[in-house]
Amino acid sequence: MSTHDDPVAENTLGGFLRARRARLRPEDTGIPSSGRRRVPGLRREEVATLAEVSTDYYTRLEQGRERHPSPQVLDAVGRALRLDDEAVAHLHRVAGPATRRTRPAQRAERVAPHLRRLLDSWSVTPAFVLGAALDVLARNRLADALFSGFTHPDNLLRMTFLDPAARRFHRDWNRAAESAVAALRRAAGTGPDHRALSTLVGELSIKSPEFRTLWARHDVRGKTRETKLLHHAEVGDLELHYESFTVNSAPTQQLVVYQAEPGTPSADALTLLGSLRAEPAPVPDTARD
């Protein structure tokens, strides 16, 4: 696949800057607005003025012709575009020299045995491991039960945008979709040459208009913590909180753990879900006599 066919690799920096510029109004930055504007958001020259760089230099940044912007310039552009800390970090990643972002030949991602054992030891907490392209690499029994309504629960983005079960499972599907795309966009910034991620973005762009719209916004947000409002066909509504942890032995992987507040209906529902999917206890030999 050439960079011209790759929806992740082709001028990621320029796409990010254009998307964030289009979302800012002149009044958001203190720039007087007069008359009708031909484009939404700020003009290039306005961003350049706010960042204290020349319009030509900023134009070259957006067009991908400026390959080595300094950290100081990137910080100034981030301030001009009113980016939060995570978006500024993403800006630095996608603007870095390509030699820093190249990866060796990619191998299939594997979850270490000790991490699988840890997952299996959590009997009352849904937990799973995500890969670089948000593939579900491993999950414990309760996570299996939680996602049992999905046809192919192998990737968070495919589950959200391509599986009909997602609209029933997520009580706030729009929020879930925005969060998933923002997490994928962040993953793309950490490794824009990742083949599986590029393939995933291409597939979703073809099959889901909603994904295309959200991907074009260039929102960036890692999976850290959030409240999920879910509905499970067997146990009803659930309100679960999740935390996400980087796996130090495999930095492209994330351990995601869901939990319910103790003593709540959601905690009772998780307990019921676990009991419905529990393996029957083995019958002692004495009971067979």
CATH 1.10.274.10 fits 113-276, yes or no: no
Model pLDDT, residue 34 = 62
Least trusted range by pLDDT, from 23-27, 37-41, 253-257: 37-41
Q: Would residue 267 be called left, alpha or beta, if left means φ above 0 and alpha means ψ between -120 and 50 degrees?
A: alpha
- Check pLDDT > 50 for residue 4: no
- Check pLDDT > 90 for residue 165: yes
63: helix, strand or coil: helix
- Nearest-angstrom CA–CA distance, 280 and 159: 30
* Residue 254 β-bridge partners: 130, 246
Average pLDDT, the chain: 83
Model pLDDT, residue 1 = 44
Model pLDDT, residue 289 = 45
Maximum alpha-carbon separation in the chain: 92
Pick the CATH number of 12-30+40-101 from 3.40.50.960, 1.25.40.10, 1.10.260.40, 3.40.190.10: 1.10.260.40
- Check pLDDT > 60 for residue 204: yes
Question: Residue 180's pLDDT band (boundaries 50, 70, 90)?
Answer: very high
- Check pLDDT > 90 for residue 80: no
- Nearest-angstrom CA–CA distance, 197 and 8: 8
- Check pLDDT > 90 for residue 142: yes
12-30+40-101 with 113-276: one CATH topology?
no
Average pLDDT over residues 138-166: 95
- Check pLDDT > 80 for residue 259: yes
| pTM value > 0.75 | no
Model pLDDT, residue 19 = 84
106-110, 115-119, 218-222, range with greatest mean pLDDT: 115-119
Average pLDDT over residues 107-112: 83
Q: Would residue 163 be called left, alpha or beta, if left means φ above 0 and alpha means ψ between -120 and 50 degrees?
A: beta
Task: Indicate the domain borders of the chain.
Answer: 12-30+40-101, 113-276
- Check pLDDT > 80 for residue 2: no
User: What percentage of the chain carries pLDDT values higher than 90?
Assistant: 43
Q: Which helix (H) or strand (E) holds 229?
A: strand 225-232
Cα atoms in the 13 Å half-sphere on the side-chain side of 250: 17
Model pLDDT, residue 12 = 78
